[in-house]
Amino acid sequence: MFTMERLSGAYKRARRMTINSSSKIIFFSDVHRGDNSLSDEFAHNQNLYYHALQHYFREGFTYIEVGDGDELWEHKNFEVIRYAHSDVFMLLRAFYDTNRFHMIYGNHNVAFKKPYLIEKNLFSFYDEYDSFFSELFPGIEVPEAIVLEDEASGGEVFVVHGHQGDFINDQIWPVMKFLNRYFWRFFHIIGFRNPASPAKNAHKRHKIEVNYSKFIEQYKKMLIVGHTHRPKFPKQGELPYFNTGCCIHPRNITGLEIVGSEISFIEWRILPDDDGFLKIRRRVVRGPRPLTDFMFL
């Protein structure tokens, strides 16, 4: 409902960034950092995610988090999340300190739409060990969307979480937040699935993805989203709809990389080597392909 209007509005309000042949960007979405309890779907992938971010930090990548980084539907207090995954947040701070971290809000962290909540939660935190307030992401802004403008071709990449226009997760999100916090948070521990989530409902997910395609056809924009948790890298001749996947899958975390003027879909997974030792490995699943193959020029 209202998908075209909501996505086009996000595009008009988006932060604009320039990319060129030296750009290196990693996109992850739907990290859903929680409190490290049994209900925290991110907890089992924390080491995998942390290792991947270390790689991207060393290699000089910029990290764009495409919404739902923190699970603020289930947890009222962000400090609980920051404390549970403090090592991750210290690494994110290192990205931010070098101007290489950008956070987009999604439906599960839509609270960061409000500047006073950004300042309260993200600017600083109380360091209990040293008993003083320390900076986290001082001055950070959390936009709804980002538009990447290619310096050479003039083409654009529209990056947004993708919940826009999803009635349950957009128009009536306060209701869904209440249900997640006091109901589904506990029920999914024992195997019940939330039918309102596009990640757990194939029909709903397909309907949302059809709306993405309609937006691309109408507005002629290359689109990168998350939200549905289903990875997408278009084949030759398909519309330029890309989905990062998510970081809470039982077996891997997935994302998109832009290196220079090419885009790839990647996964990080724990696999045994020939001697049976478990190792974290990065694999390029699709691509690389030139961005200009997908841009409307």
Average pLDDT of 62-84? Answer: 94
CB 185 within 8 A of CB 197: no
Topology of the domain comprising 3-293? Purple Acid Phosphatase; chain A, domain 2 (3.60.21)
Provide the pLDDT confidence category of residue 203 given band limits of 50, 70 and 90: low
**What pLDDT, on a 0 to 100 scale, did the predictor assign at position 234?**
96
Q: How many residues does the chain have?
A: 297
The percentage of residues in the chain with a pLDDT greater than 70, rounded to a whole number, is: 85
**What pLDDT, on a 0 to 100 scale, did the predictor assign at position 198?**
59
Whole-model pTM? 0.91
Q: Is the pLDDT of residue 109 over 90?
A: yes
Q: Where are the domains of the chain?
A: 3-293
Concatenate the DSSP letters of all residues of 180-235 into one string. Answer: IIIIIHHHGGGT---TT-TTT-HHHHHHHHHHHHHHHHHH--EEEE-SS---B-PP
**Lowest-pLDDT range, 5-14, 72-81, 93-102, 179-188?**
179-188
**Lowest-pLDDT range, 149-153, 164-168, 247-251?**
164-168
Provide the pLDDT confidence category of residue 201 given band limits of 50, 70 and 90: low
**What pLDDT, on a 0 to 100 scale, did the predictor assign at position 174?**
59
CA separation for the pair 70, 61 (Å, rounded): 21
Give phi and psi for 121, each to the nearest 5: -100, -35
